[in-house]
Amino acid sequence: MSAVQIASVNTPSSEPDRASWYEASARQRIRSLLDAGSFEEFIGPEQRELSPHLGIFNLPAQFDDGMIVGRGRLRGEPVFIAAQEGRFMGGAFGEVHGAKLTGLVRAARDATSIPLLILFDTGGVRLQEANAGEVAIAEIMRAIIEARLAGVKVVGLIGGRAGCYGGGSLIAGCCSALAISEHGRLSVSGPEVIETNRGVEEFDSKDRALVWRTMGGKHRRLIGAVDAFVDDTMSAFRDAAVRLIESGPRFGADVLDAEQARLEDRLARFGTCADALDVWTSAGVDAAAAVPALPSEEFIALADKVRSIRHDAR
């Protein structure tokens, strides 16, 4: 079988490096991230491995089931790459979608020398295939830990329309490093789910500022939930991916001990804070209320002053 190029429409502007990650499709992100012409897809759309379950709900399937997996080169070095299409079924994990990523992670585990990039854009488990999606997430998590024990770096990139929610956020928590943009959100329960279950006083899902303060990229950077905050551009994500592939020690008990301490410390410092503004103030940010409006460059400088990033505790 020969490698095929899948061309995509809506080619980015004449400055592809500055193209928005958020606005791009999964395939555009892969093409912009990797060295030109280096991407080779596994089980591409022409294989027509559709979801066997969506038809029961009279829902249209997508040829790649919203998960694109393959390999390519990043600044000359081989990488495995997986990208979720957030506009198809909310990027959610179904049987085939999940299995493609499971297989790729297992390959990374077995190869041991090729890092893995996961481009998250997901609302979590696909409800129409809930049980298959849920167990797939658990399989992926286990495979990632097996891969990391073998020395593989698994870098997650978060900045798409669907965010990184539900089971996706748990997979992200198994990665060796994460990069997030302002648009990115990382959370287990989504805003609507919290509001439906606990009421609008607990969480007003329509309050966008609240959503971003609580789950968004800037907050995750300030609280130490991610390793890098990046501008919403292809080049920023690429630079972060290159950097994060090299960062951090091999996974093991020491890393988990360090993470235990990191998370216990977080609870001790911020466990009684009512809102992100209180967390940021406690963390040493002078003008917390001004953080959401800060442009990326200034925010990154502020965040670096307030909290240096540890890469050995994830």
**Cα separation of 9 and 7, whole Å?**
7
CA distances from 228 to 10, 56, 194, 222 (A): 28, 41, 27, 10
Residues between 42 and 71 with contacts to other proteins, criterion CB under 8 A: 42-43, 45-46, 48-49, 52-53, 55-63, 69, 71
Give the helix/strand (H/E) hosting 41: strand 40-42
In sequence order, the β-bridge partners of residue 122 are 164
Roughly how many angstroms between the first and final C-alpha of the chain, as a whole number? 39
24, 30, 107, 147: which one contacts other proteins (CB under 8 A)? 107
> Where does this chain touch other proteins (CB under 8 A) — which range of 98-106, 230-238, 242-250, 287-295?
98-106
Strand 177-181 vs strand 40-42: parallel, antiparallel, or unpaired? unpaired
12, 20, 38, 142: which one contacts other proteins (CB under 8 A)? 142
16, 18, 22, 128: which one contacts other proteins (CB under 8 A)? 128
Q: Using the rule CB under 8 A, is 38 a contact of other proteins? A: no
Token pair recorded at residue 113: 């020398």
6, 242, 294, 309: which one contacts other proteins (CB under 8 A)? 6
Going by C-alpha positions, the residue among 77, 81, 305, 309 that lies closest to residue 180 is 309
Where are any strands of DSSP class E within 67-123? 67-74, 77-84, 116-120
Tell me whether residue 145 or residue 294 sits nearer to other proteins (CB atom). Answer: 145
* Biggest CA pair distance of the chain: 58
270, 306, 311, 312: which one contacts other proteins (CB under 8 A)? 270
> Where does this chain touch other proteins (CB under 8 A) — which range of 16-24, 238-246, 270-278, 295-303?
270-278
Q: Using the rule CB under 8 A, is 131 a contact of other proteins? A: yes
Tell me whether residue 265 or residue 298 sits nearer to other proteins (CB atom). Answer: 265
Provide the minimum distance between the beta carbon of 311 and other proteins in the complex, in angstroms, as a whole number.
14
DSSP conformation class of 215: H
Q: Using the rule CB under 8 A, is 119 a contact of other proteins? A: no
Provide the minimum distance between the beta carbon of 230 and other proteins in the complex, in angstroms, as a whole number.
19
Q: Using the rule CB under 8 A, is 117 a contact of other proteins? A: no
Q: Using the rule CB under 8 A, is 276 a contact of other proteins? A: yes
CA distances from 53 to 58, 60, 94, 184 (A): 9, 10, 9, 29
Contact (CB, 8 A) for 246 and 258: no
Q: Using the rule CB under 8 A, is 277 a contact of other proteins? A: no
Strand 186-187 vs strand 116-120: parallel, antiparallel, or unpaired? unpaired
Size of the site for other proteins (CB under 8 A): 109
Provide the minimum distance between the beta carbon of 102 and other proteins in the complex, in angstroms, as a whole number.
4
Using DSSP's 3-state secondary structure scheme, residue 224 falls into: coil
Provide the minimum distance between the beta carbon of 117 and other proteins in the complex, in angstroms, as a whole number.
13
Residues between 232 and 251 with contacts to other proteins, criterion CB under 8 A: none
Provide the minimum distance between the beta carbon of 3 and other proteins in the complex, in angstroms, as a whole number.
8
